[in-house]
Structure 1
Amino acid sequence: MKRWSELFNLPETNFHFCGDEYIYAEISREMRVESNFKALAVTEELRRRNIPGIIDIVSSNASYLVRYNPEVISARDLADYVKEIDFTKSDPAGLDLSVRIVEIPIWYDDPVTKEYSRRFRNRHQEPDLSNFDYVMKVNGFTDKQAFIEKHSSLPYLITMVGFLPGTAWHFPLGAKPSDIIQAPKYKSPRTDTPERSVGIGGAFNVVYPVQGTGSYQLIGMSAVPVVDLSDRLMDLKDTAFLARPGDIWKYRPVDESEYTAIQARVSSGDYRYKMKVIDLSPIEYIAKGKEYIEELMGDF
């Protein structure tokens, strides 16, 4: 069996000591789904082993970070542990991941994000266009419905969680580079962004978990929260945060009427997220691409 780096032409992971509490592992300097699969597999195994002295483990788009207590475990000993796990996860046959597919209902081209486009037009590349219309334009769309169908047809892999708690960067799966909807960020960040707004920056999508600053192009509003501090929603009882690295989010377009109805169910605590658990095989994905993703999604 060829090693991961030979099969998918990934370089060897580079390890760095950061101060006296961190080990940083860089798999690749560019965003590649293969790199993210490996980062997820390594960090999952590190958590499973529950090594004494490890304080925190964070996976990123193409790297991962381990924080440790040097009074409990030495940097060199931990580095040996991490390198050994990283080496074993270089075998694609051992990288199956248990993840969830989660549906995110979204009202595209809604009045809220249109208003924010207007408010912060002086920070935008094309101040006379809404963010939605701008993203359509830079991706060559002239028909609104065609754009919505394209954006919502792809499932998105959560490659990283962070920045603000509950923020999940997600990247389209199964698409050729020419089919990925992309957009540059604002020239200068907004000082305000509505909670649950859906944005695009580069090839990444994000649902803003709370109100705050932001620079992604806003194309719609999620009808459901990705953070629930009220403890109302059954699916978020164990954790207030919906996003998990490695999960797959699937957007579903809704109109104003359904958006309002879903929000009412969220407010009453009756809403249940549509989701299912699947086994994701990175080697199957790399070998079959879009066909494999369509098999996984089924009739979801």
Structure 2
Amino acid sequence: LKELKETSTQPRVVYRQAGDHYILIEYGSMNLDLHHRFRIHFLMEQLEKEKIQGIQEISPGVSSLQIHFDGKILHQQLLIEKLIEIEQNLFSNQTNLRIQSRILYLPLTFQDSTTLNAVQRYQQTVRHHAPYLPNNVDFIQRINGLQSTEDVRQIVFNSSYLILGLGDVYLGAPCAIPIDPRHRLVTSKYNPARTFTPEGTVGIGGVYLCIYGMDSPGGYQLIGRTLPIFNTFCQNQMFKDQKPWLFRFFDQIRFYPVDENQLEIQREDFRHGKLQIKIIEDNFFDLNQYDEFLQKEKQSIDLFLHKRDEAFNKEISLWKNYEQDQTQTTISTEIPQEIEEEDEENENIKTIRADVCGNVWKILIETNQLVNVDTPILILEAMKMELIIRSPCQGQIINIRCQIGQLVSNNDILFKIQST
């Protein structure tokens, strides 16, 4: 729709059509730049201050701002003209480039069993072989050129993660980066994505950190677990102004280590308002001071980034040269027709087939095992749901026709049972 060229005082700004009732404003290139995020924040504040009739919602991102407007009240062209007017005077109205930046201290179990089980489940049901399997932290260590997984752990606990976006996946999940570039571990994402990630899991994708606000799909590399960050009924006073999400833009997250038993108690107490976390309210992020820090530490930052990028590129080249057959291993369901017909003629033998396409996640019984009506036999994972397949009758399992991790199609035979 419109483009402002880059100048000495302003980045390139592009105004794009984003559906019938939205405008998307993009700043600069695809590279992370906190100056752009500050501009987005100040633009959002100015729009809220002016209360322009017709603007219904403003959604900031890391380097973009989406505006939902009512075209019956506010013409698109008039809105763009107003946005350009504000943009060209944006930083001239800002004498102090600093923003309130609370510091929140959260417990974290590093490589806990819940997280590791989620990775194992993915390996069993979605993809058996991948560079990030069987352990995500091992992958993070390797792709960043670090000496050990302990180096990953130290960086995670020494970092201060600045929240640039909320709702990264669901329910106010933070999109955060380490303030110090020397703490910015880089990763690729899962391909394909996980169908299950436990609520409270902490993951890294690209250079961004996220905390999952609910059980959900996901693609970030998993490093551990922390407190619930979404409280539906605001039962904890930490969730202020009747907002069920914990974080605000430009909050900083700092983790401290706890064991799994401690975390389980803390998670339950925090959910019900019995645990308060430490929050430093009176803290600000100063962009000018940050620029001075970057200049002062430029040599060591450049050294870290060079080593990291070198390891990343080496890993990518290995992937390209590694020819891995990623097709799912399946079991043939071809059985001589006469046997199938014989089974069909035997009224006591029930053949149970899949109703949907999916992966076999768990098999809960064994061949020759006696079962009752509605006994859970196996669990399929399909459409990001768990589907429990139960016994239709009392009897004995005589033939299991699938295995864990197998992809089954609609009408494939799962098992046979001889009723008693």
Q: Does 1:231 find its partner at 2:237?
A: no
Q: Corresponding residue for 2:158?
A: 153
Q: Assess if the C-alpha contact under 8 Å between 2:177 and 2:184 holds in 1.
A: no
- Number of residue pairs matched? 284
Q: Corresponding residue for 1:33?
A: 34
Q: Corresponding residue for 2:409?
A: none
**1:87-136: CA deviations, max 9, x gaps?**
23344645322232222221101001111111112535237532222222
- Aligned equivalents of 2:13, 2:162: Cα separation in 1: 22
Q: Corresponding residue for 1:42?
A: 43
Note the residue ranges of structure 1 that are not aligned, 5 or more in a row. 293-300
Shift of 1:291: 7.7
Matches within 5 A, 1:109-128: 109-121=111-123, 122-123=126-127, 125-126=130-131
**1:223-276: CA deviations, max 9, x gaps?**
x11110132111114200113222222222222243133224214412223222
- Aligned equivalents of 2:97, 2:70: Cα separation in 1: 28
Q: Does 1:86 find its partner at 2:92?
A: no
Give 4+ residue runs of structure 1 displaced > 4 Å after superposition: none
Q: Does 1:187 find its partner at 2:188?
A: no
Q: Corresponding residue for 2:354?
A: none
Distance 1:291 1:263, change over 3 A: farther
Shift of 1:54: 0.9
- Aligned equivalents of 1:81, 1:127: Cα separation in 2: 47
Q: Corresponding residue for 2:52?
A: 51
Distance 1:17 1:185, change over 3 A: closer
**Higher helix residue share:** 1
- Aligned equivalents of 2:160, 2:51: Cα separation in 1: 32
TM-score w.r.t. length of structure 1: 0.85
TM-score w.r.t. length of structure 2: 0.62
Letter in 1 for 2:265: A
Q: Corresponding residue for 1:297?
A: none
Q: CA RMSD in A?
A: 2.4
Distance 1:11 1:231, change over 3 A: closer
- Aligned equivalents of 1:89, 1:173: Cα separation in 2: 24
Q: Corresponding residue for 1:280?
A: 285
Distance 1:5 1:165, change over 3 A: farther
Shift of 1:191: 0.8
Q: Calculate percent identity across the aligned residue pairs.
A: 24
Q: Corresponding residue for 2:355?
A: none
- Aligned equivalents of 2:185, 2:236: Cα separation in 1: 32
Distance 1:152 1:242, change over 3 A: same
Q: Does 1:172 find its partner at 2:175?
A: no
Q: Corresponding residue for 2:376?
A: none
Larger Rg: 2
Q: Does 1:211 find its partner at 2:215?
A: yes
Distance 1:113 1:54, change over 3 A: same
Shift of 1:50: 2.1
